[in-house]
């Protein structure tokens, strides 16, 4: 007999271990009637296993963890883990609803919207900003989407509005939190389409990084699924708070269902970064719990210089399109200890 719902995560050695543990802790503590939902963790590449202490912590949290070599063909592209693991779970985890979660998430209230109504097969959030997305025919990135539409057989155009800047772009959803009805076969089709696109070497203008996310978006369009959007307090992009459209900004920690924190806790100044969020009240026991967990799992490991370096590299990459080859980041890297 199938269970109503299951959570799916990826955990590999290193920083993902602490992130996955904090995610699991938050589910068990704050998710109300869903706090005992089964959590399946997968390590989908060949290599060293996760630490013994992480495995023991998973056992205490009743997280089922397996290292299975699902990602062999695209071993060097770690984001390939997502569609490959999701498809494996869809074929092997006997649950009516599967919810894939990136490890850099944390819950603070019961996610009732994960329980999909009978007429809905998928719920998720739009991608936060335009990124590699296209506003339409006049966009410089349109060729990439048209190629995906052609290869994957999209017949109907769908657009979404981005939380940052309220831009209308071709349907582009965030793949870090996806709730699907298992019987719809969405994850398996995502995997098949991802493999097809990778083998054809179709990549976004900025490089390979968002192939899996854009392919999921185009897959949903090709399947003509009616994608329902989770409310803005799901997977709330905490570091992007100040950039969100005013109507989507959350004012108090206790109004959040879950956060998406990206690399925020990777840097030593994470607490100061949170204090810079405008008109955001962090006076909450839930926020205090988060602070204690971040410290307990030893998440901050890198100087803020690393963040500045990444910003400089992004600028250098843009300048290359103007045939300006500047390597200021290399000079910094040779002189600063991270």
Residue 282 has pLDDT above 70, yes or no: yes
What is the enclosing helix (H) or strand (E) of 283? none
| pLDDT confidence bin for 314, thresholds 50/70/90 | low
- Tell whether the model's pLDDT for residue 335 goes beyond 70: no
Strand 159-161 versus strand 236-237 pairing type: unpaired
User: Mind listing the pLDDT tens digit for each residue in 214-238?
Assistant: 999 999 999 999 999 999 999 999 9
**Predicted confidence (pLDDT) per residue in 96-107, tens digit:** 999 999 999 999
Contacts of 21 (CB under 8 A, 6+ apart): 54, 57, 58, 61, 297
Give pLDDT tens digits for 251-280: 999 999 999 999 999 988 899 999 999 999
Return the CA Rg of the chain: 20
Q: Beta strand 228-229 with 122-126: parallel, antiparallel or unpaired?
A: parallel
Higher pLDDT, 336 or 113: 113
**83, 186 in Cβ contact below 8 A?**
no
Segment 112-140, tens digit of pLDDT = 999 999 999 999 999 999 999 999 999 99
Q: Please tell me the CATH code under which domain 3-229 is placed.
A: 3.90.550.10
The pLDDT of residue 303 is: 60
- Residue 336: pLDDT over 60: no
Give the bridge partners for 161, in sequence order: 168
How far is CA 310 from each of CA 120, 315, 329, 332, 333, rounded to the nearest angstrom?
A: 39, 9, 8, 11, 10
Tell me the β-bridge partners of 178.
100, 124
Q: What is the pLDDT of residues 147-159, one digit of tens each?
A: 999 999 999 999 9
- CA distances to 52, 97, 162, 248, 256 from 245, rounded to whole Å, are 43, 31, 9, 5, 16
Q: What is the pLDDT of residue 76?
A: 94
Nearest to 152 by CA among 142, 164, 144, 163: 144
- pLDDT reported for residue 188: 98
Written as six digits, the tokens of 315 are 């600028």
Q: What are the tokens at 73?
A: 């063909």
């Amino acid at each position: 007999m199938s269970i109503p719902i299951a959570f799916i995560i990826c955990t590999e050695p290193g920083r993902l271990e602490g992130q996955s543990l904090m995610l699991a802790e938050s589910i068990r503590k704050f998710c109300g009637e869903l706090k005992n939902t089964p959590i399946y963790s997968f390590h989908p590449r060949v290599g060293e296993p996760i630490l013994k202490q992480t495995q023991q912590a998973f056992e205490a949290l009743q997280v089922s963890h397996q290292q299975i070599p699902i990602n062999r063909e695209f071993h060097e592209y770690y984001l390939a883990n997502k569609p490959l693991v999701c498809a494996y779970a869809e074929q092997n985890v006997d649950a009516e609803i599967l919810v894939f979660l990136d490890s850099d998430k944390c819950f603070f209230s019961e996610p009732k919207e994960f329980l999909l109504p009978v007429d809905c097969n998928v719920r998720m959030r739009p991608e936060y900003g335009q990124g590699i997305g296209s506003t339409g025919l006049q966009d410089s990135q349109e060729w990439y989407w048209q190629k995906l539409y052609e290869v994957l057989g999209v017949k109907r155009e769908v657009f979404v509005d981005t939380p940052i800047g309220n831009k209308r772009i071709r349907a582009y959803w965030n793949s870090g939190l996806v709730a699907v009805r298992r019987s719809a076969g969405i994850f398996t089709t995502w995997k098949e389409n991802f493999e097809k696109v990778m083998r054809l070497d179709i990549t976004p203008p900025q490089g390979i990084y968002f192939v899996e996310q854009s392919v999921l978006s185009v897959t949903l369009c090709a399947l003509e699924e009616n994608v329902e959007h989770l409310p803005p307090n799901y997977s709330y992009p905490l570091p992007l708070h100040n950039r969100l459209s005013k109507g989507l900004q959350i004012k108090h920690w206790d109004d959040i269902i879950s956060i998406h924190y990206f690399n925020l806790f990777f840097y030593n100044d994470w607490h100061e970064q949170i204090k810079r969020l405008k008109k955001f009240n962090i006076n909450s026991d839930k926020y205090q719990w988060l602070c204690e967990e971040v410290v307990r799992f030893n998440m901050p490991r890198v100087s803020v210089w690393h963040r500045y370096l990444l910003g400089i590299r992004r600028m250098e990459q843009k300048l290359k399109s103007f045939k300006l080859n500047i390597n200021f980041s290399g000079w910094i890297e040779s002189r600063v200890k991270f």
